[in-house]
Structure 1
């Protein structure tokens, strides 16, 4: 089995893809370390902490979609984006419905303990 030499265009594409993965890894690492550092080493208000963790999580999802799954807003990737948006819609419906049912059951079973 012989190793084929990459021409200049393929080598450039390979370096660009590797650079994209390194950027994605670095951004994902930073977006993981920010909430960890805030929880472990600071004493900020709980609501501010939750908002910061949520924002970092949403940005990290976008980073993963862009740098690792290569989902962009380009015309040729429109089907992938629609598939992901449909999946998010289904997950929101499932999670929202589950929470709705659980809180309704909680209110019916223990009405005196509601805040």
Structure 2
């Protein structure tokens, strides 16, 4: 039972090159394209799904032992956790939460900056 061993991991090289290319395309789309914001978000999400597929098939060898041995249960739970993290991040970023919770004590800001600077000077040597 001799296995054929490739000395040069061509699949890993191709997967790495595709991942870098998709990352560069996503960065260009976000930073330099003149597309509307909704289309930029859709393009980045599509590129992220494609890159996740490349990661599964090129690096994590999801089809290496055949479809019957793929850890579908673990993949489903990982997808659910990733969806929760993404949804929570989008929720937090969308509603613009700040550190100022509307407290009434912040009306007079004249002494706040000075007391903060004094506090910073006290802890400067530590």
| TM-score, with structure 2 as normaliser | 0.57
1:77 is aligned to 69
SS at 2:39 equivalent: helix
- Report the CA distance shift for 1:39/1:14 in structure 2 as closer, same or farther (over 3 A): same
1:25 is aligned to 16
Show CA shifts across 1:64-114 (max 9, x none). Answer: 111111113923432x2321112212443x448858x979xx9xx9xxxxx
Count of residue pairs brought into register by the alignment = 93
Is residue 14 of structure 1 aligned with residue 3 of structure 2? no
Show CA shifts across 1:18-67 (max 9, x none). Answer: 01101100110111011111223221111111100000011111111111
Higher fraction of helix: 1
- Report the CA distance shift for 1:27/1:96 in structure 2 as closer, same or farther (over 3 A): closer
- Report the CA distance shift for 1:31/1:71 in structure 2 as closer, same or farther (over 3 A): same
Provide the C-alpha distance between the structure 2 equivalents of 1:67 and 1:77, rounded to a whole number of angstroms. 17
- Report the CA distance shift for 1:27/1:77 in structure 2 as closer, same or farther (over 3 A): farther
Contact 1:39–1:49, Cα closer than 8 Å, also in 2 = yes
1:113 is aligned to none
Is residue 57 of structure 1 aligned with residue 55 of structure 2? no
In the alignment, structure 1 segments of 5+ residues that lack a partner are 1-6, 110-115
In the alignment, structure 2 segments of 5+ residues that lack a partner are 102-126
Q: RMSD between aligned alpha carbons?
A: 3.2
Contact 1:71–1:81, Cα closer than 8 Å, also in 2 = no
Provide the C-alpha distance between the structure 2 equivalents of 1:59 and 1:91, rounded to a whole number of angstroms. 15
